[in-house]
Amino acid sequence: MGEVGEEALLAAFTPLLPIGGHALVGNGDDCAVLAASDGRYCVSTDLLVEGHHFDRAWSTPEQVGARAAAQNLADVAAMGAVPTAVVVGLVLPPSTTVGWVRGLARGLGQACQACGAGVVGGDLSAGEQLVVSVTVHGDLQGRAPLLRDGARPGDLLVHAGDLGRSAAGLALLRAGISGPEQLGPQASPPVREAVAWALAGFRSPAPPLSLGPALARAGAHALMDVSDSLLRDAGRLARASGVRLDLDDPCGQGSWLAGCRRRLEVLVPLLQAPGPGALTAEVARTAAAWVLTGGEDHGLLAAVPAGSQEALPAGVRVLGRVLEHVPGTPSVTVGGEPWQGAVGWDHFEA
């Protein structure tokens, strides 16, 4: 970067970015111009800071770009809207290579193109730390925005997307496992597949973007993105709506964790070695903690009317109930009991 300059860098990566169908004017002028068919726009911004949100030793530039897109596009889907365009600000140390920036643009552009959103502008700056800032715009298509304050007692609590996948991937990376090839010949195919699945979920989350508008069309009362953890974000929804949420026990037989339990639980022995008598319980507790307190899967949490279970879009599962709030009780319980321990990610907690 210190050798090529800004103009050459822009020429190197802007051809990799889609314009999208909502841009009347794209890159190259002082502003992009977007068509707002609904007359309203959803707008949100997220930052990714190197060393805080991503590590170049763990992720390719394409994966960092895909992650930057995913966490912003999911915010639009969480309003029941369709992503239309993003603008991107980059702070780049002068030692950053042009190839790395092109990879970032490629990953971000591919993720946006997959849902029809354009990358229509942004800004560049030199700095000491690599920062990716993305602002996303979304179209409500004539529907009312789905907010966090609409959950009602008697509703079903439902979720779409992954739970615990990114947290498991992060745990593997922290343990020095960056790919299934490191496991050795004794690792079984299910373990290798689970490692690859978890690492991909951390490096390049895949939020179920189409299910945000689908849940809106299905009559959801409230909707939000799960970015910091299921427990922490469920608490935000509960407090905004003035209700209590009770999650089914994820360790229970036939629970909503069953779909991903096998993949999560086969990973636990790679990270710890509990005594034989405690193995089953320890595995279940660790997998449950990933699901309940792990973040960055960017799934969607919604409250939907009771009796609507049969009409839910494919990929949406029931994981609890919305109850009347009782003063002095937790806003979220698990199997009727308070959760003991940390509840998820906070940017400013140690």
Residues contributing to the annotated binding site for substrate: 53, 296, 345
Burial of residue 208 (number of CB atoms within 10 Å: 0-12, 13-18, 19+): buried
Q: Can you say which residues are annotated as belonging to the binding site?
A: 30, 44-46, 53, 75, 122-123, 148, 225, 227-228, 296, 345
Q: In what order do the strands lie in the sheet with 131-139?
A: 42-49, 131-139, 82-92, 118-126
**Closest C-alpha to 67, from 199, 259, 182:** 199
Written as six digits, the tokens of 74 are 């999911």
The DSSP secondary-structure symbol of 154 reads T
Cα–Cα distance measured from residue 291 to residue 268, given in angstroms and rounded to the nearest whole number: 13
The DSSP secondary-structure symbol of 165 reads H
Q: Can you say which residues are annotated as belonging to the binding site for Mg(2+)?
A: 30, 44-46, 75, 123, 225, 228
Burial of residue 75 (number of CB atoms within 10 Å: 0-12, 13-18, 19+): buried
CB atoms within 10 A of CB 40: 15
Q: Can you say which residues are annotated as belonging to the binding site for ATP?
A: 122-123, 148, 227
**DSSP H or E run through 160:** strand 156-160
**Please, are residues 141 and 213 in contact by the beta-carbon 8 Å criterion?**
yes
